[in-house]
Structure 1
Amino acid sequence: MDTLSAGSFGPLESAGPVLVWIVVLTFVFLECAIILGLFLPGDSMLVTAGVVLATHDSGTQHTWALSVGAMGAAIAGNQVGYVIGRRSGHRLIARRGGKYLNAANLHKVNVLLDRHGFWAVAVARWIPWIRTLCPMVAGAANMDHRRYTIASSIGAVVWAPVLLLIGFYCGSLLEQVPWLMPAAIAVMVSLLAVGTALGIWGYRREMARPAESVTVDDV
Structure 2
Amino acid sequence: MEHFESWKDLLNPEFYIKMGGFWLILFIIFAETGLFVGFFLPGDSLLFVSGIYAVEIIKETFGGSGNDLLDTTILASCISLAAIIGNEVGYYFGVKTGPALYKRPDTMLFKKKYLYQAHDFFEKHGSMAVIMARFLPVVRTFTPIVAGIVKMDKKRFLIDNIIGAVLWSFSLVFAGHYLDKVFKDQFGIDLKSHLEWIIIIIVLVTTLPVLIKFVFGGPKEEPKGPQE
TM-score (norm 1): 0.71
- Asked whether the 8 Å contact 1:9–1:189 carries over to 2, the reply is no
- Deviation at 1:176? 2.6
> 2:170 is matched with which residue: 139, 142, 161?
161
> Cα distance 1:59–1:21, how it changes in 2: closer, same or farther (>3 A)?
farther
Distance 1:167 1:45, change over 3 A: same
For 1:126-205, what aligned pairs fall within 5 Å after superposition? 126-176=135-185, 180-181=189-190, 184-188=191-195
- Residues 163-188 of structure 1 deviation map (CA, whole Å, 9 limit, x = unaligned): 0000000111233379742xx31442
Contact 1:52 1:171 in 2 (8 A): no
For structure 1, which runs of at least 5 residues remain unmatched after alignment?
A: 193-213
Equivalent-residue separation in structure 2 for 1:26 and 1:189 (angstroms): 23
Match of 1:120 in 2: 129
The percentage of aligned residue pairs carrying the same residue is 27
Matched residues, number: 187
Q: Which is strand-richer, 1 or 2?
A: 1
> Residue by residue, what CA displacement relative to the aligned partner does 1:5-52 show, whole Å, maximum 9, x if unpaired?
649845957x9xxx6422321221111211232010010011101112
2:54, 2:75 within 8 Å by CA — same for their partners in 1? no
Q: Separation in 2 of the partners of 1:133 and 1:42?
A: 14
Report the more deviating stretch, 29-38 or 19-28.
19-28
Deviates more, 1:23-32 or 1:121-130: 23-32
Normalising by structure 2, we get a TM-score of 0.69
3-state SS in 2 of match to 1:175 = helix
Q: 2:33 maps to what in 1?
A: 32
CA contact 1:51–1:171 (8 Å) conserved in 2: yes
Q: Give the structure, 1 or 2, with the largest relative contact order (CA under 8 Å, sep 6 or more).
A: 1
Contact 1:92 1:216 in 2 (8 A): no
Alignment root-mean-square deviation, CA = 3.3
